[in-house]
Amino acid sequence: MTILLIVLALVALLALRVPVAFALGGLGAALLFIEDISLVMVPQALYSGMDNFVLLAVPLFLLMSNVLLKGGVGKDLFAAVQSWVGHWPGGLGVATILSCAIFAAISGSSVATAATIGTVAISEMTSRGYDRSFVLGLIAAGGTLGILIPPSIPMIIYGVVTEESIVDLFLAGIGPGLFLAGLFIGFCFLYARFGKGYTPTPRAAWAERRRATLRALPTVVLAAIVIGGIYAGWFTPTESAGIGFSVALIIVLARRSITWPLLLEAVRVSMITTVSIFLILVGAKVFGKAITLYQIPQEISQLIVGNISEPWVFILIVCAILLVMGLFLEALSMLLIMVPVLHPSLGAMGIDPIWFGVLFVVMIEAALITPPVGLNLFVIQAVAKAPLMDVVRGVWPFMLMMLATAALLWFWPDLALYIPFKL
């Protein structure tokens, strides 16, 4: 009963358009107040929530990708990849996905990835006669690689909330990320073969390839350092982010591709994104303390274990709930509302928390591009200035591929777990 009331109160606050951070924090504080527990817990949670070295990776990864973005790296990356694969069947589509995958390795966010590659790729592809819906769907889907291929901000937050290893989470994202990229590329070939037709791009000359590649090379090397450094154990994710940011700064300064106003904008946008994420995080922390005192996660865990004997039923229900939540919540809010409640049940169900984290991220992304009202659809719509229906029509094959990947993860957990634990 209490559970139901709390859920209703949360939904009501969110529907009233109270910012997610304060809907969670305010409800948490109210719950503490009702039980006559000292509200000193509120500032304590606010303080301890931010007093965390691991979380520093969030602003630093954001700074790194924003500095590169404002330095025009997206365009160079796309140009370089296109010079190699542009003449393939469906080549611009393939170039789009590959650029997204490479950019994903320097960006922890799907929207930044989709927006960066999208601004270049959309006009390039539509002008060559690719079907508009296909292009928009492709960009929306390519963007989701941003949070699967490390670094990934949702995975950092997942790691902080569940106290699981962020390095393991990052590494576990690589397999499914590359697998999805492969699926998307395969779909581009199919489109080229059976789709509405397009004007193929001529094969680029070697001089052109060399020029474009050299221009994009520093970014690719940076991506390799960031991920390779974490993988090899040279740096922690936070250190890797710090180094990545400094090197990004050096790259754009050396190329003189960033101006003072652009740098200011990069710093400002990073701050806004960081703070809006962190406020939700601490709001969720206050909320989490309160519901723990009410023993809600334990009760839910008992409820689940008592009624659901099969882990696959549990996973199926979680996935269904996420698909519904994706209609109106963005990635991080979904994660911060669901994970603290579900985490205690994982052990009882015998589910690997790292595997669950990866599945969760895949499902969040699938939910965000699920028509009719996934949030990422709106973002793509805004980037492309296209009617929403165009995006929706293009996105469903990709959504099905993502759901299929989620299902595959169930039957073949090593897709995620091989790289961190068995390699």
Partner 1 sequence: MTRLVDRLSAITAGLSAWMFFAIGIMVTYEVIMRKVFNAPTIWVEEITRFFQIWATYIAAAYLLHHREMIVVEIGDKYLGSRSRRVLEFVSLLVIGIFSAVALWHGTGILLESIELKRATSTMLGVPMWMTESAIPVGFALLFLQCLAEMVRLLRGELLPAESHHGPGSADL
Report CA-CA distances (Å) from 13 to 16, 24, 64, 95: 5, 9, 35, 43
Comparing CB distances to partner 1, the nearer of 241 and 351 is 241
- Using rule CB under 8 A, residue 329 touches partner 1: yes
- Using rule CB under 8 A, residue 332 touches partner 1: yes
For partner 1, which residue of 36, 51, 163, 310 counts as binding (CB under 8 A)? 51
Cα 118–359–337 angle (5° rounding)?
90
Comparing CB distances to partner 1, the nearer of 138 and 185 is 138
DSSP percent split of the chain into helix, strand, coil, nearest 5? 80, 0, 20
Best CA proximity match to 380, nearest among 125, 112, 89, 37: 112
Closest approach, Cβ 58 to partner 1, in A, equals 9
- Using rule CB under 8 A, residue 395 touches partner 1: no
Map the footprint of partner 1 across residues 143-172, applying CB under 8 A.
147, 153-154
How far apart are the C-alpha atoms of 179 and 408, rounded to whole Å?
11
- Using rule CB under 8 A, residue 15 touches partner 1: yes
Burial code (b: 16+ CB inside 10 Å, e: under 16) for 290-321 equals bbeebebbeebbeebeeebeeeeebbeebbee
Q: How many CB atoms lie within 10 A of CB 225?
A: 17
Which of helix, strand or coil describes residue 258?
coil
Report CA-CA distances (Å) from 347 to 302, 311, 353: 12, 11, 8
Query: Which of the ranges 200-208, 326-334, 337-345, 399-407 carries the binding residues for partner 1, by CB under 8 A?
Result: 326-334
Q: Which two tokens stand for residue 291?
A: 């519901």
Closest approach, Cβ 59 to partner 1, in A, equals 4
Query: Which of the ranges 122-130, 188-196, 374-382, 400-408 carries the binding residues for partner 1, by CB under 8 A?
Result: 374-382
The burial class, CB within 10 Å (0-12 / 13-18 / 19+), for 341 is: middle
Map the footprint of partner 1 across residues 72-131, applying CB under 8 A.
108-112, 114-115
- Look-up of token digits 């993988």: 231
Comparing CB distances to partner 1, the nearer of 65 and 83 is 65
Rounded to 5 degrees, what are φ and ψ at 167?
Answer: -60, -50
Map the footprint of partner 1 across residues 209-248, applying CB under 8 A.
234-235, 238-239, 241-243, 245-246
Tell me which amino acid residue 182 is: G
Closest approach, Cβ 366 to partner 1, in A, equals 15
Closest approach, Cβ 233 to partner 1, in A, equals 12
Map the footprint of partner 1 across residues 270-289, applying CB under 8 A.
270-280, 282
- Using rule CB under 8 A, residue 26 touches partner 1: yes
Closest approach, Cβ 26 to partner 1, in A, equals 5
- Using rule CB under 8 A, residue 407 touches partner 1: no
Rounded to 5 degrees, what are φ and ψ at 274?
Answer: -60, -50
Rounded to 5 degrees, what are φ and ψ at 326?
Answer: -65, -15
Q: Check residue 418 and report its DSSP letter.
A: I
For partner 1, which residue of 13, 101, 296, 337 counts as binding (CB under 8 A)? 13
For partner 1, which residue of 35, 47, 196, 295 counts as binding (CB under 8 A)? 47
Comparing CB distances to partner 1, the nearer of 38 and 309 is 38
Which of helix, strand or coil describes residue 421?
helix
What distance separates the 2 farthest-apart alpha carbons in the chain?
74
- Using rule CB under 8 A, residue 43 touches partner 1: yes
- Using rule CB under 8 A, residue 347 touches partner 1: no
Closest approach, Cβ 352 to partner 1, in A, equals 24
Comparing CB distances to partner 1, the nearer of 28 and 340 is 28
